[in-house]
Structure formats: C-alpha cells, structure tokens
Structure 1
Amino acid sequence: MKITRVETFLVPPRWLFCRIDTDEGVAGWGEPVVEGRAATTRAAVEELSDLLIGADPRRVEDLWQTMTKAAFYRGGPVLSSAVAGLDQALWDILGKSLGVPVHQLLGGAVRDRVRVYGWVGGDEPSRVGEAAAAQVEAGLTAVKINASGRVAPLPAAREIDAIVGRVEAVRAAIGDGNDVAVDFHGRVSVPAARRLVPLLEPFRPLFVEEPVLPEHTHRLGEVVAATTTPIACGERLFSRAEFLPALQAGVGVVQPDLSHAGGISEVRRIASLAEVYGALLAPHCPLGPLSLAASLQVAFATPNFLIQEQSIGIHYNTGAELLDYMADRSPFAFVDGAIERWEAPGLGIEIDEAAVRRADRVGHRWRPPVWRHPDGGHAEW
C-alpha cells in the first residue's frame, strides 16, 4: 500500500481537515489545525506531504519519526499540529486496512464509555448558572466555564468576587452530583492564580485549568502548592518534553490536544508519562469531529483517562457545527453524560466528503479576539 495524495480542506467555523489517499482505495482523515493559524498549518501539511507520497501509510511510527525529525528545526504549534492531523489519518488508514478500531491497535479497550463535558458561558461568561443547568438537563454530568473574561493580571476585589460568584452559581445550579471545571485560560498572573484558586475550593471544582501561561510552567508548582484543587494544563504544550516540567510541578490533569500535540502517537505517550506521575488524562478538544474521534480512541484505551472535552454547541461554532460534517451522527450520541465505545474500523466515524468539499469552497478566516485593558495595554485572551 502506498500514499498517493494528501489533501486539505479549510472548513468553517475554524477547522482544517486532511485526507490521505492510497493506491488500494483506503483513505484516512485527520484534523491538523492551529486555531487562528489554519492557513499556516495548511502550508505545513503540504510541505510534510513530500515525505509521505509514495510511502506505506501503515508504518505509522516510522512516518511520525520522519515528519517530526527530518528537518533541522523541530516542534512548535504549527509543525506539531500538522503532524497531529496527518498522524490521525495514518492511524485511520491502518485501522481500516485491518478492519479494527484504533483503540484495538493501542492495546484494546479499558472502558466501555467515555465521560464528556460541555462548555457554558462563552469567552466572557454570563448567565452560567442557567446555561449549566440546561446542559445537565440535556444529559451531561459535567460542564466547564471560563473563570473570567478580560481580567487584570492582579484582579481587583470586584473581579475576584465575580470569578468566585460564577463558580458558586454553577455549583448551585447543577448540584453536588455533577461536576464543574474552571478554565483560567492563562489570563491572570502567577500571584493572582495563587490567590484565586484557593477561593474556589468550597465549590469543589473537578479541576482548574491553565491558571498561568505555558511560558510560566516553571512557576506552576507554586499554584499547585497553594490549593487542594487539582490543577490541569496542556492545551499549549506539544510534546512529552514540554509536559515533563508540568508533571514535575505536580499538576493532576494533563490536557494535550490530539490536533496539536503530535496526534494519537504522541498523546498516547504523554498519557503514559502522566501515569508515572499519578496524573490523569483529559484531552483538550474544542475542535471538529476528527479531533474528537481521535481523542475518544485514545480515551478508550488509556487507563489513566479522566474526562473528554467536546465542542458540540460551543460558543466558537458559528456558521457550522461539529455534526454537520458527519455522514452518521450516531457515534457521538450522549448516553448518561458519556459517549459509548464503538467498534467501527479506524477512527470509527464516517465523514461526509461532499459536505467537506462544499465547505472548503467557502473556507474561513477565523481569528481569536484581541483584548485590551482599560489603559490600552494588551490583555490575555
């Protein structure tokens, strides 16, 4: 079997898909994208395709090693994300060629279903209590909220009260039988995180995510030491080497993104590294159906898995939804707050190719917002 073609598709609301074709008619799909840098990632996929055309797609590990190491300059979000989507597509082809799901190739399932959570409140959260209650009413058992919108690096008293009040409102709305996770999105400083995170302890968050920026990972241990709440991070870390300092700092939950951190191949290894430190895996996934399918395949086969993010109904999805690109939506049905394991080969989902090609003709130019503090200075989004 040989790879004959690599295609990319820029699809709304903000995603990039890829498709790898072979001379035996087996095709694989993946999702290589950096949100806000989709066109840049598309160019990286095109460059990497030079290494793939004519190769045997079933040699997944060899191709991963080649894509990540065959150039003098390595790593970074664009290259890692390009590799991630191509890696997903290669695993999809391998599973389809053998007639088995990817989780079987990873050693077999260790669970029958994967618990998922949904987003509420948006980037500048409001009415989070009502929105969280609606998600629970719809069948989910966990939600996540942004701790704040634009916020000062050292929040004023009213900003602190607003952050605590949001989490309190969600806890009151969903009761003690469901979970709320809180995402700081790297929006505050290390001193502010040390002050804020302990104030959330009475509401028992499932975890607090990205309390500080990834470039401040060397200070993450200070935040971990300041609270009993599990600290999570990793959506902007792209390799085992980058996760190691966070694990050494004591984070309880790692959140690699299957479309950013080298795909199924590398995230599986990140999960194994986390297991050595007693940390749990909760893959980041505010993206499309292929990223979610890849995440679930890893989750089905990973012992130290905790919970899965998914983007159905997320505030970023304007103009298109995750399910719009699926020929069969049933694999992503929620059952008691979880997605049941399936046994279809490869990634296990069927992409509506015609819908994808139509969407690519429209494309997108999604960009994240640029925020400013009242004094005109840059604010972290």
Structure 2
Amino acid sequence: MAITRRAALGGMTALLAGLPLAGPGDMALAETRARAGALGLKITGLKTFLVAPRSIFVKVYTNQGLTGLGVAIQTSKEMATAAAIMECERVLVGRDPTRIESLWNELYQTPRWRGGPLTAAISALDIAFWDILGQALGAPIYTLLGGAGATRLRIYGSTMDMTPAIFEAQKAQGITATRVQAPKGSIPQMIATTRRWREIVGPDHHLAVHMDGTMPTRDALQYLHGVEDLNLLWVEEPIQMDDIEDWAHLRAHTTTALATGERVLTKWGFAPYLNRHLIDFAQPDLAACGGITEARKIAALCEANRIQIAPHGPHETAGALANFHLDASTTAFYAQEVRDYTSQFELDLHEGQTPKIVNGFCELSDRPGLGTVLNEAVAAKRPYQPLTRSSEGRAF
C-alpha cells in the first residue's frame, strides 16, 4: 500500500515504537535508517524542473507514493546540471533512497570526473533523499540530524548599499547583522565608503562586506588593511578560490575576518581553509557542495576547528529549508543568508509551505522531511531562460 504524507504522520507512534527517544531531537541515526529500510522504499524515477531565473529542482519518485524534492544551484550551467541529475536515474532506479550515505558515495566516487554540475546534481538528489526519509518517518530533517539546538535561527540582511533609510528599515525587522555588496571605485574610495557604512550603522551592528572574489590579491590586502579598525563581521570572497596559498597570504597579513565557501565543493574542498584556519566563517551552498550529507561533514570540520558556519542562501524555499535543517543541527551555526519568500509566485510554487521570518529570525517548521512541495503547474509558468555571465555584463 502506498504511503502518503498523511499516513506517514498518522503512523508515527507505531513506526517509532521501541526507539530509544529521550525527546524529538534524540533519534539515533542508525535506528532511523533501520526503521526506514523496513519500509521497502525503492526509487522509480526522477524528473527535473528548471524555473527562471536559475532554480533547478528534482523530484525523486518512489514505489510507496512518497516523492522527495531537491534543489541544485550552478549559475549559467543550469541545463548541464539538470542533465547531470538525469544521468543518475539509471543508477538509482530500484535503489533504496533511505540509504543516503551509500548512495552519496556511489554517485560521487564511481564516476571518473567530479565537480561543478556533477556535484550540484548529487546535492539536489541528496536533499531529495533526506526529504523522503523525513516523510517516511514523519519527522523534520533536523530531527533526523540530531535535533534542533534552537527553534529560531538568526538571519542577516543583504543590501547593495547602506543608507540611513535602509538601516532603519532593517532595524525595524529585527535584523542585527547586514552584508553589503562591495563598494565601488579605487581602493581608497572603497575604504572610505566602508567607513561611511560603519558610521551609519554604529559600532554595535554586525557589518559584513561581500567582494565577489573579483579583486587581485594585492588590492584585496590593501583594502583589508584599510578597514581593520572597523570591526567588520567579515569580508566575503575578497579573492578567488583558485589558489589556497593566496588565502594563506591574506590570513597572515590582516586581522580582518574572512569568509568564503559558496563556490567551494565537498569536505575535501573546505578542509584546507578550515584546518589551516584561513577563514573565520565558512559559507557552503548546500545545493552545490554535496547536499545535506556533505554539509553536515563540513559543519563538523568547522566545529573541530572553532570556525563558524553561515551557509550561502540565495535560494527559493526548497534551498532555504535545506539550509535551516542544517543550521538547526550544528553548534557551528552563526547566521543564515535569506531572501524574500512572500511573493505570490513563491507562495503558489510551494503551496504556501514557505519559510517564516519574524523579527530577525527564521522559525523552524515541524513539517516532515524538507517541509515543502513543488507545484509543477506553477513552475511551468516561469520557464527557464539560459543565463550568461560575461566580462561585458552579468545576466544574473
């Protein structure tokens, strides 16, 4: 008999009978997988959805009627990522989606080539597998990860500039930390603009700057030196991630806090930044770095090295909720990047199951699995158009 969401919720008492639970956050992961394995779930197929401007969704279907939702990000490579997801279908059909660790390793380790769209594809599938597991057991993903350390998660605001009006509006929303897009002009002008921002927000507001990884190392270091006395929360992506020794050079020559990670993939990519203490904040993107499974391990490396985690969060609802499940389950969490989830399209796309942000915090949902759905008819109303990043201008 097919398992529906309602049946999964209604059968929780029987399903979890005998589990050694001291509370909803204490479910042992091995016990969880054993119970899920007994359900006899098998993958029957995959389907991808590309939604403008750059969302890549996957639905993973099972023989028991449960459908997992996953999301990937790979700007300007959306079509390649969708194709990479579907390449996995022939490997996954007939497999148990609750054997998440085993499937992750097979999808990552077996192919000869890795990275980019291939890892983003695994990320989307991994999120969908966790969604299925949570639905099958009637529990939110964060419960399966060890339980929520808090029911509300701190967010930080994002803006292209900082003005008194913007600051007052953010304060009214309960926001206590803001990341501002890179200042323009020469290095002295950039430093002067950053000083103006600090004057606007005052000494206590947590102010961060996002640089997009576009600066030469020499210029980045000059800027970092020039703002050292401003007590910035972090400077994000001052340089590219192409050369780890460039980051070692920055770290050795500035006291300004550094952050990066949205384009760093897997625990192996993060390990040198964390083990060598080259950054103060790690910013993995769960829809690109390997999904929830891999992000948990990145978070564990952060904990071991006393580095905080602030996941990349430009996503719509599905990607945002994946972040929230990780955030709630790691002691390394600092704050979460978010966006607006209140547009009518967003509400319709996810049938009202969107994140709730109140007074500067995300409120955790107790819905099982990922905690949302994807309405295919609504998704079809906003078809994807290829995006191009170029030196002449960026489409997104």
Q: Which moved more, 1:290-299 or 1:226-235?
A: 226-235
After superposition, the C-alpha distances for 1:322-379 in whole angstroms (9 at most, x for unaligned) are 55522125x52222211012211101224334312433xx22212235348xxxxxx9
Q: Percent sequence identity over matched residues?
A: 32
Partner of 1:316: none
1:21 corresponds to 2:61 = yes
Counterpart residue type for residue 83 of structure 1 = I
CA gap of 1:295–1:94, structure 2 versus 1, over 3 A, is same
Partner of 1:170: 197
Partner of 1:340: 363
Partner of 1:327: 351
Q: Secondary structure at the residue paired with 1:31?
A: strand
Q: Distance in 2 between matches of 1:321 and 1:256?
A: 27
1:92 corresponds to 2:131 = yes
Q: Secondary structure at the residue paired with 2:79?
A: helix
Partner of 1:215: 242
Alignment equivalent of 1:147, drawn from 153, 177, 182: 182
1:63 corresponds to 2:103 = yes
Counterpart residue type for residue 139 of structure 1 = G
CA gap of 1:369–1:134, structure 2 versus 1, over 3 A, is farther
Q: Which moved more, 1:161-170 or 1:15-24?
A: 161-170
Deviation at 1:85, TM superposition (A): 0.7
CA gap of 1:95–1:104, structure 2 versus 1, over 3 A, is same
Partners of 1:186 and 1:211 within 8 A in 2: yes
Partner of 1:307: 335
1:102 corresponds to 2:141 = yes
Partner of 2:12: none
Counterpart residue type for residue 130 of structure 2 = W
Q: Distance in 2 between matches of 1:127 and 1:229?
A: 20
Partner of 1:52: 92
Q: Which moved more, 1:161-170 or 1:244-253?
A: 161-170
Counterpart residue type for residue 111 of structure 2 = A
Partners of 2:173 and 2:358 within 8 A in 1: no
After superposition, the C-alpha distances for 1:223-248 in whole angstroms (9 at most, x for unaligned) are 12222222111111101111112121
1:367 corresponds to 2:367 = no
Q: Residues 177-326 of structure 1 correspond to what in structure 2 (within 5 A)?
A: 177-247=204-274, 248-312=276-340, 322-323=346-347, 325-326=349-350
Q: Distance in 2 between matches of 1:311 and 1:165?
A: 28
Counterpart residue type for residue 127 of structure 2 = Q
Q: Which moved more, 1:242-251 or 1:204-213?
A: 242-251
TM-score (norm. length: structure 2): 0.83
Q: Distance in 2 between matches of 1:177 and 1:352?
A: 43
Partner of 1:35: 75
CA gap of 1:178–1:349, structure 2 versus 1, over 3 A, is farther
CA gap of 1:327–1:252, structure 2 versus 1, over 3 A, is same
Q: Which moved more, 1:235-244 or 1:160-169?
A: 160-169
Unaligned runs of 5+ in 1: 150-157, 314-318, 373-378
Deviation at 1:127, TM superposition (A): 5.8
After superposition, the C-alpha distances for 1:262-288 in whole angstroms (9 at most, x for unaligned) are 000001101101211111111112122
Counterpart residue type for residue 326 of structure 1 = H
Q: Distance in 2 between matches of 1:22 and 1:94?
A: 11
Counterpart residue type for residue 47 of structure 2 = E
Unaligned runs of 5+ in 2: 1-40
TM-score (norm. length: structure 1): 0.86
> How many pairs are equivalent?
354
Question: For the pair shown, which has the larger CA radius of gyration, 1 or 2?
Answer: 2
Partner of 1:6: 46
Deviation at 1:10, TM superposition (A): 0.6
Partners of 2:258 and 2:280 within 8 A in 1: yes
Deviation at 1:79, TM superposition (A): 0.7
